[in-house]
Amino acid sequence: MSKVFVGLSGGVDSSVSAALLKEAGYDVTGVFIKVWTPPFFECTWKEDHLDAMRVCAELHIPFITLDLEKEYKKEVVDYMIAEYKKGRTPNPDVMCNQYVKFGGFYDFARSRGADFIATGHYARVASDATRELSIINYQLSNKLQIQNYKLKTGLDSSKDQSYFLWTLKQEQLSHILFPVGGLVKTEVRKLAKKFGLVTADKKDSQGLCFLGKIDMKDFLKNYIKPKAGQVLNERGEVVGNHNGAVFFTLGERHHFTVRTIKSQNNAERTRNDAERGEHENQKPYYVVAKDVKKNTITVSHDPKASIDGDSRKVFEIKGVNWIGRAPRSGARLLARIRYRQPLQKARFMIYDSRFKIHFDEAQSGGAPGQSIVLYDGEQCLGGGITS
């Protein structure tokens, strides 16, 4: 009987994952990962911990609490704050998966004899031998010692989390199970009720990995001092103000103030110009550029606007990880620049060991520090961080 440690978050997805594995005949142990929580925010970890314990009691499986506070604080929180201070926009959920769930937790489980770890991620694992690995035929593929494992998108496209998993490697995939990856959310809810799980009707958590719905700007203001700055339009005119360029990411449309536009070239505008300005201000503005040194952000009504030529079509990525083989230079692939974005057509290019993504269409977002993830159909190939 294969032994599997399931990362229980106290939510419905990981709860159903544990139930499905037990039903399939695995030796299941539930593990709640305790991470660092900010002292100035009220977090729900105690409630989640209790729900995870209840699930284990309902399933009659062992329960363990794993303390990864130091790892989370260093690799996720400290990294995130440092990146924002540099004017970059990090993705803490990617780091959480890399260093906590599939780092500290993975190592902990394997060191204690677990054949697999499992989580409630909406993603799938496949191999050349089995095409798509279910929780039942996974054992067969490992007996065959298959090395070519593939990460695929979750069946429920609205919940797919492969974007956050691009740092996984072959060795890890051979010991990872995603039991709900082949299900849609409504099926998961029905299974939770079938198994009698206390989490069946629990709302999905939102926001930062593990910490839940925390406003990022409110969080960062405890570590980065707000500094008043100017909001500019595409012509370089001052049209408003904000509390610090470091707090903004490209594509954002909130937390800054825009007043009626007045041209710097004319002391007075015509009545028609003024009316046009009032009408324009009713449209939403999006951040299309920021200058941390000057503490300015530039906004536009067009979220795809660029003040840097074709910089919104071509991106260089660093810190690249390939889950399997690296794609060849010139390959036509699909890519996404942010979570839940529809996959975009792009060409992958290599220039003197530098990796660049050439999108067919201009992209909003893609600020330095964010992840760009590459796909071949449903298969997640890997990704990197925008430079």
List the catalytic residues: 96, 209
d(CA 376, CA 61): 38
Q: Which string of DSSP letters, residue by residue, matches 48-79?
A: HHHHHHHHHHHHT--EEEEE-HHHHIIIIIIH
The three-class DSSP label of residue 5 is strand
Measured distance CA(355)–CA(352) in Å, rounded:
8
User: Residue 215 and residue 95: Cα distance in Å, rounded?
Assistant: 18
Strand pairing category for 344-351 and 354-359: antiparallel
**Which residues sit opposite 85 in a β-bridge?**
none
Place of tokens 């677990």: 114
Type and span of the H or E element at 22: helix 12-23
Structure token pair of residue 279: 């009408």
Structure tokens at 85: 């201070």
Query: Distances from the Cα of 235 to the Cαs of 59, 239, 270, 274, in angstroms?
Result: 62, 10, 19, 17
Measure the CA–CA gap between 365 and 361, rounded to whole angstroms: 13
Q: Are 335 and 372 in contact (CB under 8 A)?
A: yes
**In 3D, which of 244, 238, 234, 209 has the Cα closest to residue 85?**
244
Length of the chain: 387
Torsion of CA 278, 280, 281, 285, to 10 degrees: -170
Contact 291, 309 (CB under 8 A): no
